[in-house]
Amino acid sequence: MYQSPARSATERHILNQIQATTRLVLICLFLQLPFAVYLLLASTPLALFNLSVHCAALGVTYWLCVRQLWRPARDLLLTGFLTFITWATLIWPAGLAIPYFLLLGSVTCGFFFRNSERLPQRVWAVTFASVFVALRIRHIETSHGLYHIVTISNTVLLAVASLLILHCLQTHTSRRWQSMASRQQALQAQLSALLPPFLTTRGNTCEPGQSRPMDSCVVLFADLTGFRQLTDQLGDEGVFALLHTLYRRFDERALHAGIRRIKTNGDEYMAAISPELTGLPEEQTTTLTRQMLSFARGLLHDCEYVAANTDIPVNIRIGVAAGPVRAGVIGNQRSSFDIWGRTVNLASMLEQLCEPNRVLLSDSAYHTLPPLPFNLKRRAVFLPNGPARAWQFTAAAIDALGNCRHNAA
């Protein structure tokens, strides 16, 4: 029956184990070649036949490894090793203690099977141990008395010990794999928290220095006003406590809203939303813009709440723009995820031009919204590529937009 090549990491690992063991056995046979020639000259032609057939079997095993056919290679290696030691014991002098090599096979065969193949692995291990006991008893049947009993008991004890060693090795290896799997899951969870889903799924990894386009993205920049005065008033420790309080609330709100925080820079908070960042099915830009405006309304509310409970004048400016961006991982040391493009630059400029406690929305993002039953303040803004216009939302206007959406639904 056709055997598919090794594909998974476990199968490739087993294949490497089989290939390395085959090389090792071939090297051992080569190093003992002078001794083997001497025994061949002094023994029957069966010894030469045994050595020739099993050397050819090792060659076929290595060829199967090259073809990545790990199952037939494993079966041929184990069968060849068992039959070679058995025939060598029956043909060559008993004093060579050749059967003890079967104990080596009993222990090492456990490394050629997957976790789901425990039954055939145990069958092979017990077979090696049983054949060892049978061959040893055959060569000690000439002894008598206590020596005979001690020899048989030692033989059985060695066979059982080899099986116990294999069991202990497998148990220890299984525990280590479970521990590594747990740590891998924890690291994957941390990575997922740092990177968006489309960069952490298999086949979509992004190396540092690489970037990918996102055609539909809504970007938000938020910045505290009068930050220098706050620093002079509160000091470094006080400002840190204030920013930590605000950003913790911002992050919790972003998590529930399906919005990803990109980064912070002092008192500047940057966030974005797109189908690629959230891992959700493709959404219309209208839905994304509304989600971001609702998030911006939440930021205004958080600043009002912190200001009311700390007696610190916390005011915030927010700029929002929609359009294509590029996303990727930048830097080799402490690499971080970031987004770039004209949409990002526009959101940053709108934040700088915005009035305190207001949200300034780009014209392109505004036109993704349905017609609004109320008037907004339209502002002329001057961008590097020329004059443009933007739309200013107050908290009340965003609430009214939410009510419109609810009534339409």
pLDDT in tens, the chain (409 residues): 445 565 677 888 888 888 888 888 888 877 766 766 666 666 667 777 787 888 888 889 989 988 888 889 999 999 998 998 888 888 876 656 788 888 888 888 878 888 888 888 889 999 999 999 888 887 766 556 676 777 788 888 888 988 888 888 888 878 887 888 888 877 767 666 666 655 655 445 556 667 788 888 999 999 998 888 888 888 888 889 999 999 999 999 998 888 989 999 888 999 999 888 766 555 555 688 889 999 999 999 999 998 888 888 889 999 999 999 998 887 776 667 889 999 999 999 999 989 999 999 998 888 888 777 777 778 877 776 767 888 889 888 888 877 665 443 3
Q: What is the pLDDT of residue 407?
A: 41
Decide if 279 contacts 197 (C-beta within 8 A).
yes
For 272-291, what is each residue's pLDDT tens digit? 998 887 665 555 556 888 89
Does residue 23 belong to any structural domain of this protein?
A: yes
Taking alpha carbons only, the member of 211, 229, 170 closest to residue 356 is 229
Contacts of 109 (CB under 8 A, 6+ apart): 78, 121, 124, 125, 128, 166
Amino acid found at 182: S
Does residue 198 belong to any structural domain of this protein?
A: no
Contacts of 188 (CB under 8 A, 6+ apart): 200
Residues 227 and 181 in one domain: no
For 143-163, what is each residue's pLDDT tens digit? 566 767 777 888 888 889 888
d(CA 299, CA 28): 73
pTM of the model: 0.57
Does residue 19 belong to any structural domain of this protein?
A: yes
Phi, psi of 314 (to 5 degrees): -105, 110
Structure-token pair, residue 375: 């008037």
Decide if 221 contacts 319 (C-beta within 8 A).
yes
Does residue 200 belong to any structural domain of this protein?
A: no
Domain limits for position 69: 9-190
User: In total, how many domains does the chain have?
Assistant: 2
Phi, psi of 28 (to 5 degrees): -65, -40
Strand partners, 323: 217
Of the residues 190, 222, 244, the one at which a domain ends: 190
Of the residues 138, 161, 190, the one at which a domain ends: 190
Residues 374 and 297 in one domain: yes
Residues 35 and 149 in one domain: yes
Q: What is the pLDDT of residue 218?
A: 93
Residues 140 and 254 in one domain: no
Residues 168 and 226 in one domain: no
**Mean pLDDT value across the chain:** 81
d(CA 123, CA 173): 19
Decide if 250 contacts 268 (C-beta within 8 A).
no
Does residue 220 belong to any structural domain of this protein?
A: yes
Residues 105 and 153 in one domain: yes
Residues 123 and 231 in one domain: no
Residues 315 and 403 in one domain: yes
Does residue 201 belong to any structural domain of this protein?
A: no
For residue 239, the domain's CATH number is: 3.30.70.1230
Of the residues 161, 190, 219, the one at which a domain ends: 190
d(CA 328, CA 53): 58
d(CA 146, CA 338): 79
d(CA 51, CA 44): 12
- 10 Å Cβ neighbour count for 323? 21
Does residue 3 belong to any structural domain of this protein?
A: no
Strand partners, 319: 221, 360
Does residue 246 belong to any structural domain of this protein?
A: yes
Alpha helices, DSSP H, located in 32-144: 33-42, 45-66, 70-91, 101-108, 118-139
Residues 176 and 232 in one domain: no
Residues 104 and 215 in one domain: no
Residues 167 and 51 in one domain: yes
Phi, psi of 316 (to 5 degrees): -140, 145
Residues 135 and 218 in one domain: no
